[in-house]
Amino acid sequence: MPTIPATDNLVEVEDVNFAYDRRQILKGVNLSIGRGQVVAIMGLSGCGKTTLLRLIGGALRPTRGEVRIDGKAVAGRSHDELFALRRRMGMLFQFGALFTDMSCYDNVAFQMREHTDLPEALIDDLVLMKLQAVGLRGAHRLMPSELSGGMARRVALARTTALDPMLIMYDEPFAGLDPVSMGVIGQLIRRLNDSLGATSIIVTHDVAEALQLVDYVYFMSDGMIVTQGTPDELRASDKPFVHQFVHGEMDGPMPFHYPADDYARDLRATEA
Amino acid sequence: MMSAVTGVLETLGGRATSAIHRLGFASRFLLLTLRNSGMCFRRFSLVVREIYFAGVLSLIIILVSGLFVGMVLGLQGYDTLVRYGSSSALGVLVALSLVRELGPVVAGLLFASRAGSAITAEIGLMKATEQLAAMEMMAVDPIARVIAPRFWAGVISMPMLAAMFSAMGVFGGYLVGVQLIGVDAGSFWSQMQDSVDFEEDILNGVIKSVVFGIAVTWIAVFEGYDAPPTAEGVSGATTRTVVTSSLAILALDFMLTAFMFRGA
Amino acid sequence: MMKRKALDLWVGVFVAIGLGALLFLALKVGNLASFSSAETYLLKANFDNIGGLKKRAPVKSAGVVVGRVEDIVFDSEAYEATVAFSVEKRYEFPKDTSAKILTAGLLGEQYIGLAAGGDAVKLKSGDKLKITQSAVVLENLISQFLFNKAADGNKDNK
């Protein structure tokens, strides 16, 4: 019988630092994600959000600090334990990362075939159910190259949830999608999270979509968490940085102009 | 002036050390591939699939090239031999050239450019589109599932293709020599059979093609796995595979020939 | 799913062609067919000069290949070359058989020619042939020719 964990947090990130090639990418990140929550990690490109996701997934090791899932540190696990953990996690990569040499059906069936001994007939039913949940059961024979961006992402979503994971991570799920597809993905994320009883982490810089969807937001800049709160709190925030980001303002703490010399002097110089 | 010279030396030194670094990394990668090959033999269908893409799809180019090389050997060989009245030795010339050298080497070069580059591009692209990372996140080791089957497929396909090349070449030489020019068929085959030894010539040729297969496929999978995940990165890696494989084949050929055929 | 069957078929064809090519090379191109698993016995012969005789050179009698040269060593006591060669068991030779080193064609490779004698007793494995004739060395031939020419010249002058 599984023991009841001490906290209600599925994921705990404690004072995590990460450096790569002498560049400090994460500088002391602290956050926790409760079970059943849908949490967004937002920030500009290059602030370290994707790195944080990789750390949680165990693909990278923190240079300092600890990442805990279900109370146990991720980095300390043995190879077999890590693989067992990964079977209970799902990650949706940017643009889907479907295996291009197999059909949509085979993509979704991949994990079932690799990790379970289920008979092919049962796998068949499961695959079709997963595709039905994302609305693409009719496309199961197609190859990934024959799908549009939004469709590919939905199939990838079906693949990610194939083994009913307890933690689902999304790396920029809304990138490059048309408004309809964005809305579809957003709704699917929420629907799947709730029906599977899972916990979801979304890394994105799509403010509108995210604030509509999630329970809690962590805001990152330059390798640190600068703000956190519920979507309502963030919308109402008067912190200049958050305000600029949420409302998409052209100028603020993040300057519009790239550092340059005095404008008048520059113009006069070219006259000569 | 001095600084220019030191600058050049520095670049040279830097290039040399990074090349050795890379070789070390590549060697560890090969060991990793070999250690993770268990899945290949338990699920041989993975390897079969890759033999199709590496071997079967190279069939046409190998057979046609072999035929043409054999025919040219027949023509050129006759032209030279007839001056010494030894045109009946044409079969010997064609067969030995092919079985010992041209079969393994030319088939190896063709394999490197066709199958090697395709393997590099495929793996590089899978890395660039995060398919390998996705596989790892799904707790399936990409080395065991993607890299190792392609490696073993290359090692198995190469000797087959070299043998086919040599066989087609001999047939091509026969077509030109006997059918076209009129060299006596009997002496063509009988002198050939007298001179081509199974152990010394044919087996050595097979050993060469296995060695080439290992070298070419190793280079191909490594370059693909190590390619920067961009369009330029993958195309650069593909070019590097063809160039490095070709040089490796020629260098290994020299070493193996010197070792196998000394004082024969 | 049907694709897998087609795949297997083509790979099977590929491997079959590959093995077929190897077989063709081994049998039709190489000498595997005449690699008779026939049993052989070993004989020896001493020569003053083996010329260009090499290991694996054929041993012929009446022009037919009956064996192969196995080993050539220098006898440091008699200062001669000892050639060990194998002969197929089905061919027996009398004890006074002679061995000559001959050349195939004008510039061809050298081989051992066995001329059978008349002795009733046959050679057994490990026996040594008594009568041998060394290879013809071109320099000796030329110097002999010149010597003969000079001798003829002297005779004419007398």
Whether residues B133 and A89 touch (CB distance < 8 A) is answered with no
Q: Which of B126, B133, B138 shows the shortest C-beta gap to A110?
A: B138
At residue B226, the pLDDT reads 93
DSSP for B158-208, written as a single string: HHHHHHHHHHHHHHHHHIIIIIII---HHHHHHHHHHH--IIIIIIHHHHH
Region C94-104: mean pLDDT is: 86
DSSP H/E element including B30: helix B2-35
State the Rg of chain B over Cα: 22
Q: Which residue of B has its CA nearest to C19?
A: B160
What's the rounded Cα separation, in Å, for the pair C35 and C88? 11
What's the rounded Cα separation, in Å, for the pair A150 and C129? 90
Residue A64: count of CB within 10 angstroms of its CB: 13
- B51 touches A at CB < 8 Å: no
Residues of C in contact with B161 (CB under 8 A): 18
User: Is C123's pLDDT higher than 90?
Assistant: no
Binding-site residues on chain A for chain B (CB distance < 8 A): 57, 59, 83-84, 86-87, 89-91, 93-95, 97-100, 110-111, 114-115
The pLDDT confidence band at residue B209, using thresholds 50, 70 and 90, is very high
Region C51-75: mean pLDDT is: 84
Residue A124: count of CB within 10 angstroms of its CB: 15
At residue C31, the pLDDT reads 66
Q: Which residue of B has its CA nearest to A165?
A: B138
Residue B19 C-alpha, separation from nearest chain A C-alpha, in angstroms = 19
Q: Which of C15, C21, C35 shows the shortest C-beta gap to B167?
A: C21
Percent of chain C as helix, strand, coil, to the nearest 5: 30, 35, 35
Secondary structure of C72-92 as H, E, C letters: EEEECCCCEEEEEEEEECCCC
Window from B32-46, B237-251, C56-70 with minimum mean pLDDT: C56-70
Whether residues B189 and C28 touch (CB distance < 8 A) is answered with yes
Cβ atoms of A16 and A55 closer than 8 Å: yes
From the number of C-beta atoms within 10 Å of its C-beta (0-12, 13-18, 19+), residue A211 rates as middle
HSE-CB for B28 with a 13 A CA cutoff? 6
Residue C11 C-alpha, separation from nearest chain B C-alpha, in angstroms = 5
User: Is C147's pLDDT higher than 60?
Assistant: yes
Q: Which residue of A has its CA nearest to B43?
A: A114
Q: What is the largest CA-CA distance in chain B?
A: 71
Whether residues C14 and B189 touch (CB distance < 8 A) is answered with no
With a pLDDT cut of 70, the percent of chain B lying above it is: 99
What's the rounded Cα separation, in Å, for the pair C96 and C120? 9
Helices B2-35 and B148-174 sit at what angle, rounded to 10 degrees? 100
Q: Which residue of C has its CA nearest to B189?
A: C29
User: Is B159's pLDDT higher than 90?
Assistant: yes
The pLDDT confidence band at residue B178, using thresholds 50, 70 and 90, is confident
Q: How many residues does chain B have?
A: 264
Residue B125 C-alpha, separation from nearest chain A C-alpha, in angstroms = 10
At residue A237, the pLDDT reads 78
ipTM score here? 0.81
Q: Which of B125, B130, B138 shows the shortest C-beta gap to A86?
A: B138
Q: Which of A257-266, B15-24, B59-68 has the highest mean pLDDT?
A: B59-68
Average pLDDT of chain B is: 91
- B136 touches A at CB < 8 Å: yes
Region C16-27: mean pLDDT is: 89
User: Is B30's pLDDT higher than 70?
Assistant: yes
Secondary structure of A3-34 as H, E, C letters: CCCCCCEEEEEEEEEEEECCEEEEEEEEEEEE
pLDDT tens digit sequence for A170-212: 999 998 888 888 888 999 999 999 998 899 999 988 888 888 8
Closest among C142, C79, C87, C80 to C112, alpha carbons compared? C87
* Of residues B50 and B195, more confidently modeled: B50
Q: What is the pTM of this model?
A: 0.80
Most B CBs within 10 A among C4, C9, C11, hence the mutation to make, goes to C11
At residue B78, the pLDDT reads 92
Residue B99 per-residue DSSP state: I
Whether residues C25 and B160 touch (CB distance < 8 A) is answered with no
Residues of chain A under the 50 pLDDT cut: 1-6
User: Is B147's pLDDT higher than 50?
Assistant: yes
- C37 touches B at CB < 8 Å: no
User: Is B230's pLDDT higher than 60?
Assistant: yes
pLDDT tens digit sequence for B245-262: 999 999 999 999 998 876
Touching partners of A (3+ C-beta pairs < 8 Å): B
At residue C117, the pLDDT reads 82
pLDDT tens digit sequence for B75-98: 999 999 989 888 888 988 999 999
- B60 touches A at CB < 8 Å: no
Token couple for B92: 């010997």
At residue B99, the pLDDT reads 92
Count of A–B CB contacts within 8 Å?
Answer: 43
Token couple for B194: 């007298």
